[in-house]
Amino acid sequence: MIVLLLLLHAVPVYLIFFKYKLLRLATFWKVFLWVPPVVALTFLWFALGRYTPTAQDAYVQAPVIQVAPRVGGSVTELAVTDNQEVKLGTPLFQIDKRSYQYKVEQASAKLVEVQENAASLIAALYAAEENVGTADANLLVARQNVAAAQKDSDAATKTASEVGKQLELAENSVNRNARLVEKSAVSAAEYDASLGNVAAQRARWVDAQNRVSRAETALEVSTLQTSAAEGAVGEARALRGKAEVLVDPVKTFRRAK
């Protein structure tokens, strides 16, 4: 490169000043003719030092990209050769997929099983919800029956109390008429009528007591039914709670899919 630059400068100088003597070699040209080669050599020296540096221990290094699959296995097919240019998405090699296919089939079967279990759990939750609704309805009916039985018991007790008072009045009237009959102040017919009234009031009182007994029995039965209904409600809600605990992870799993 340096020799070529010197020749490119020296040949024109020789032809112009020495062979054809087109110009006279004055002092100016003697000084100026050294300027172009000096400038050219200086520029070349800086250019070579900056863009093509030299060294005694230079090395050539090429970038190496490590390629590794996400899964391990035996390579069954190599799709590229050495130093082949590849692009993004170009298949490089094929790994034996039989073992992974088996795992995929196992996972698919497990997924089907989990989905079936999830469906069963959701069906159980729906059934538990329905049982809770039925138990709540039965409890409401039982409480209504208790209220009605309490009302009937109160009415029967009140009726029995009134009949008892009337019976007491009738018995007092009989006792009074018995004394008056002995004194001939009351006729025997009036005394017999008072006895009949006592018998009728006693029969009414016995009937009222029977009604009170039946009403109390009905109230006791309704109370027991209410307790049983409350227990059924508690049990149904407990079963619903267990079903919700089992179903919630399934819902989470389905949302994550």
pLDDT per residue as tens, the chain (257 positions): 667 766 776 777 777 777 777 777 777 777 777 777 777 777 777 776 655 656 666 666 767 777 777 777 788 888 888 888 888 888 888 888 887 788 888 888 988 887 788 788 788 878 888 888 888 898 898 889 889 888 888 888 888 888 888 888 888 887 877 777 676 666 777 777 877 887 888 888 888 888 888 888 888 888 888 888 889 889 888 888 888 777 766 555 554 45
Q: Is 58 in a helix, a strand, or coil?
A: coil
Please give the Cα distance from 39 to 31 (Å, whole number). Answer: 13
Q: Are 40 and 6 a contacting pair, CB within 8 Å?
A: no
Residue with tokens 């030092």: 49
Domain ranges in the chain are: 2-45, 106-256
Q: What is the dihedral of CA 3, 6, 12, 14, to 10 degrees?
A: -90
CATH 1.10.645.10 fits 106-256, yes or no: no
Please give the Cα distance from 47 to 209 (Å, whole number). Answer: 131
Q: Is 77 in a helix, a strand, or coil?
A: strand
Please give the Cα distance from 149 to 166 (Å, whole number). Answer: 25
Residue 245 token pair: 């605990």
CA distances from 244 to 129, 253, 255, 256 (A): 10, 14, 16, 18
**Contacts of residue 69, Cβ cutoff 8 Å, sequence gap at least 6:** 95
